[in-house]
Amino acid sequence: MRAAKRGKTVLIYICLIILAVIFAGPFVAMFLVALQANPVVSAKDITLELTLDNFARVFKDSRLPRWFWNSVVTTVVVTVFGTFFSSLSAYVMAKKDFPGKELIFWLFLAVLMFPAHAWIIPMFIQMSRMGLVNTYWPFFLSGTSSAFGIFLLRQYIEQNVATDILEAARLDGCGEFRTYTRILLPTIIPGLVTLAIFLFIQWWGQFMFALIMTTSNDMYTLPVGVALLRGVAPSNLRFVMATTAVAVLPSILVFVFFQNYLMRGVAMQLR
Amino acid sequence: MIKGKRLEWTICYLFLLPNIILYLLVRLIPFASTIVLSFTDWQLIGSPNFIGLKNFVDMFNYPVFWKAFRNTLMFAVYSVPPSIILGLLMAVLVNRDLPGMKLFRGLYFLPYVTSIVFVAVIWRWLFSTDTGLINALLNRIGVSSVPWLSSPKWALLSLAIVAVWQNVSFNMLVFLAGLQGIGSDVYEAAVIDGANSVQTFLYMTVPLLRPTMTVSAIMTTINSFQVFDLAYVMTQGGPLDSTYTLVYYLYDFGFRYMEMGHASAVAVVLFLMIFSLSIVQRLLLRER
């Protein structure tokens, strides 16, 4: 019985390790190519002669620093304001009653169902008329409201914030906005972090939207810049992989540090 | 009292104001405009003329539209069932307390947090027929090279493999949450009754998770209908249009040929496909 149980545990670990190779292997391969000291044309050229020079090269000789900066600005603004605006709406949707609440709820729900292609053509036309293509504004305008965020936080507030506390604060003479900043926000920090991570990952990787809203090399975000690297010769594979590795790294770091929050958020998506 | 209520309501609307303004500006008005544009021949210059259903009639007469339509459906057929089934099996596998389990779950989740574009760039090389890593490994164990991305027969399937690789951990996590909701007493009862692990999986886990599986399948299908990034980066819709999808068609007409009317018509068709699935999903969620 004990032996059978140990055999089963070993089998489980073998499965776990095979899966780990499947899911993490491509990233290892990416870093391995990015670190190659000699040009790589095919997979057979990979050696253990490693160097960090490729990273220095792509930072010096390509537009990577600029793309990185564009990605940082758009993602950070969208994440901060997206979380803030969502928490404002979620608060009153969860804890207040007012005329038109149902209507507004349905409006948000409808927005949640609109896939990007359903609005992106007129939005592009509007942005180009206003001269905002190739600026950060399309990202700010489009990203800072998140229907998913409103639903996530509304649910979080309903489950974790007692109405009594808010009432008590008001009886103590707190105004609505003070109640929101002093009482509500501190109690929903885990929810805010979860949403912020979602927004970060979503906008760090945003592709089609960025491809359409930017046409100049200087305004590309990382996904667009990396996707359009494809013109380069195969012998430059290690530079392509070095650029991709730099682009991937921030989302991996965010994930490593906030894994628990992210996983909780995923589970909430289906409730 | 009435006055106090008014004030409170006003404050509520103020809280909602940023979202409402932005939604009107960048979602609802553009969405309504998409529908209007789909009945015009607008090409970004000049003024739009109302042409009734001509865009839709044209579209349904273009063989390349049907090609894109078929590719999109086939991509869903290739990618959704494996993503659900593997996601479920993985959830069962990782749903236990063993040392290092958190690390494994984290590793499986890496592809999901990585932008699909970066994933596509990596896999474009892994799948490269002559220079890629996967064929090199296959050759080493004596298997001849597979034309992953260079053959029209394989390309769409290869993209589906990458899509599953990227999103299966999302489904794993959803099912894991479901499994943890079931509770161990049900399983203990089954084990006492002499059920083995395959039996408990087939006759207990699967039926208990069926509602979650349905919703998850619909979400995965909705996402698969919007496939574009993978095709754009890995195959540019080729070879021979074998990975040309509906969103790719929309992108080409709207942002390369500047046929805004025609592109909007595609957007409407795609929206209807996705919207009907969303409605089904909402209804199922409500039933629960």
The CA-atom distances, in angstroms, between A11 and each of A6, A7, A8, A18, B243 are 9, 6, 5, 11, 38
Question: Which residues in chain B are contacts of A42 at CB distance < 8 A?
Answer: 130-132, 136
Higher local confidence (pLDDT), A269 or A197: A197
Domains of chain B: 68-287 (1.10.3720.10)
Cβ pairs A/B, distance under 8 A: 253
Mean pLDDT of chain B: 89
CB contact under 8 A, B11 and A12: no
The three-class DSSP label of residue B40 is strand
The residue type found at B7 is L
Helix/strand/coil for B162: helix
Rounded percentage of chain B residues whose pLDDT exceeds 70: 98
Whether CATH 1.10.10.10 fits A63-268: no
User: What's this model's pTM, rounded to 2 decimal places?
Assistant: 0.91
As given in the structure block, the two tokens for residue B249 are 């068609």
Q: What is the DSSP letter of B53?
A: T
Sorting pLDDT into bands at 50, 70 and 90, what band is A1? Answer: low
Contact A33, A239 (CB under 8 A): no
A233 pLDDT more than 60: no
B113 with A201: Cβ contact below 8 A: yes
What does the alpha-carbon distance between residue B230 and residue B243 come to, in Å, rounded to a whole number? 9
**Inter-chain residue contact B16 with A201, CB threshold 8 Å:** no
Interchain CB distance below 8 Å, B247 and A117: yes
- Omega before residue B239 within 30° of 0, cis: yes
Quick check: A70 pLDDT over 90?
yes
**Which of A142, A267, A270 faces B215 most closely, judged by CB atoms?**
A270
CB B113 within 8 A of CB A263: no
CB distance B114–A205 less than 8 Å?
yes
Cβ contact B115–A267 (<8 Å)? no
Give me the pLDDT at residue B73, please: 95
Mutation site for B-interface testing, chosen from A13, A23, A221, A235 by largest number of B Cβ within 10 Å: A23
Which burial class, exposed, middle or buried, applies to A22 when counting CB atoms under 10 A from its CB (0-12, 13-18, 19+)? middle
Q: Does B181 touch chain A (CB under 8 A)?
A: no
Given the structure tokens 């990585």, which residue do they identify? B114
pLDDT-derived band at B288, boundaries 50, 70, 90: low
Q: What is the pLDDT of residue A231?
A: 56
Using CB atoms, pick whichever of B8, B228, B270 lies closest to residue A208. B228
Q: CA-to-CA distance for B218 and B34, rounded, in angstroms?
A: 25
- Mean pLDDT in residue range B50-77: 93
d(CA A63, CA A217): 8
The β-bridge partners of B50 are B40
Tokens of A211: 């491809």
Residue in A108, A180, A252 nearest the CB of B110: A252
pLDDT in tens, B226-266: 999 999 999 988 899 999 999 999 999 999 999 999 999 99
In Å, how far is A256's CA from the nearest CA of chain B? 8
Q: Are A138 and A127 in contact (CB under 8 A)?
A: yes
Is B270's CB within 8 Å of A145's CB? Answer: no
> How distant is the Cα of B264 from the closest Cα of chain A, in angstroms?
7
